[in-house]
Amino acid sequence: MNTSTKCPNCRVSHVCEASNSQKWSIAIEHNIAFDPSRLDQYHHLNEKSTLHLDKLYSAGYEQKIEDVKHLLQSMPENDPTESLALVDAIQKLGMNSHFQEQIENILQQFYKTTSGYIYGFYTLHDVSLLFRLLRQNGYCISPDVFNNFKGKDGKFRGKLRQDTRGLMELYEATQLSFEGEYVLDEAANFSSKILQECVAAGHMDPNWSKIITNKLRHPYHKTIARLTEKDFFQDFQWEKTLRELAVMDLHKGRSICQAELRQISAWWNELSLSDSLKFARNQPLKWYTWSMAILMDDINMSEQRVELTKSISFIYLIDDIFDLYGTQDELTVFTEAINKWDYAAIDTLPDYMKMCYRALLDTTHEIAHKIHEKHGYNPIDSLRTTWANMCDAFLLEAKWFGSGNLPTADLYLENGEVSSGVHVVLVHLFFLLGLGGGAIHLKDTSKLISSVATILRLWDDLGSAKDENQDGKDGSYIECYRKDNKGLSIMEAREHVLDMIENEWKILNEECFCVNQSLTLSFKRASLNFARTVSMMYNYDNNQQLPMLEEYVKFMLFD
């Protein structure tokens, strides 16, 4: 049994005391949930302004949507660049769900038109932007279009060095590459190197330098929408209309998300699991942030976000049982009970495990029942299987790390994909989205889920020492890889892991953007958002904080 005296909130050994005014800051810094009453206080303090905004927005919100639809429909054919800029702006603001039909019509028209270098576009910026927009919307477009920007020597032309905007958009386009698309690999190296040199030279306007640095670190395709919106507006007449709608859309989304967070907090408090597991993480805000980010493309998916958060909470809770509580014998009994999926198995468990086991079975059966009522089929067998698989993977890791006999890096990663919890989340989501009763089968998702799981496992291993103060002693891919490759430095191993993450994104891209992919758009978008959320959850700064997570949570819920 782990006898650590770590803070039950952040799991780092220290005294965690704070006044009420400091709790929100600590909640973000330690990645935990603040007292839900803080949310009520927030609303009380802003009640008058909130009621005023509700009245104002309800009167103008639908009209603004219609205004933007009209803009999309009336974009002048003689200025196609502006059409692309508007579509790009809408997507970066996370509002494309309102305008799917109009955006599809614009892109389809461009796709059908062939002339010049690429459908009538000639500049590096415009070709790169159209390539990105077409590919991320499922159109089959070859990266060979970028060969038009190479010289006779087969390299990208030197004069492109002066086209900063073009290089920035080229770099963004390369983030949607598939395996084996070497021209995009060349383009990524070419554009990133020159942009880095521009920033390092120190001759650039500070604002531009900041924009470029941010883009290189957090390209749009691999970042949650709304976190990349600050640097893309240009001087278009529709800018004011779009900004006004974005504010209204955000206000509506905040109200819905705040209500969902209250619902999750009430559910978690009613379970009272933190009473029996004193040192387990107590982080409803963090658990909900995963669901909020994964399913933010459609604000109407409240039920799916709430139910998904419940499953995510148990992933963290069971992980803590394996990391902080159980002996090898206790963990074996717990895993056997999960595999049996029988309430009678409660009697075989230690007292501190009983409440968690019962709550897991109750919650999962409730989710399955809701899916059955809504979609006409009961996915309980698939749900129980994914929980059993995760616990089997947890137990195998516990045996490895407990004995000190680490596996090979490949074997560790194969098991680590399952222990990441990604399969549990996406299997639940698959059925919550109503995908289990038609021509699409769960097995169709295997490659996509595997890519997201690999990305999470590798990012987690890059950041877990900082996250949980474990200093790599719980095992990680890096540790196993260095054992397989004697003499390799930690820095070299980390670079290898980052390259692996980059390659896994290429596999995920092809799964999501291949025109023959049968999975529905909602599941593919959610899976992409899942992968995008990973870096936000594990990307620590030099102060061991998570600035992107802090920015996102404040922006989406509280600012």
Least trusted range by pLDDT, from 20-29, 134-143, 231-240, 247-256:
20-29
Q: How many CB atoms lie within 10 A of CB 373?
A: 9
CATH superfamily of 279-558: Farnesyl Diphosphate Synthase (1.10.600.10)
Interval 311-333: pLDDT, tens? 999 999 999 999 998 999 999 99
Interval 415-457: pLDDT, tens? 999 999 999 999 999 999 999 877 678 888 999 999 999 999 9
Interval 476-494: pLDDT, tens? 999 999 999 999 999 999 9
Most confident of the ranges 203-207, 380-384, 468-472: 380-384
Contact 363/371 with Cβ under 8 angstroms?
A: no
Three-state secondary-structure class, residue 473 = coil
d(CA 307, CA 291): 9
For residue 558, is pLDDT > 70?
yes
84 token code pair? 């692309």
Interval 177-233: pLDDT, tens? 999 999 999 999 999 999 999 999 988 888 889 999 999 999 999 998 877 655 545
Residues near 185 by beta carbon (within 8 Å), at least 6 away in sequence: 174, 177
Model pLDDT, residue 15: 31
Model pLDDT, residue 139: 87
How many helices (H) and strands (E) are present in the chain, helices listed first? Answer: 23, 0
CATH number, span 76-234? 1.50.10.130
Every domain of the chain and the residues it spans:
76-234, 279-558
For residue 278, is pLDDT > 50?
yes
Interval 363-378: pLDDT, tens? 999 999 999 999 999 9
Residues near 527 by beta carbon (within 8 Å), at least 6 away in sequence: 426, 448, 449, 452, 508, 512
Q: Do domains 76-234 and 279-558 have the same CATH topology?
A: no
% the chain with pLDDT above 70: 83
d(CA 554, CA 110): 38
Q: From 200, 251, 216, 193, select the one nearest 55 (Cα to Cα).
A: 251
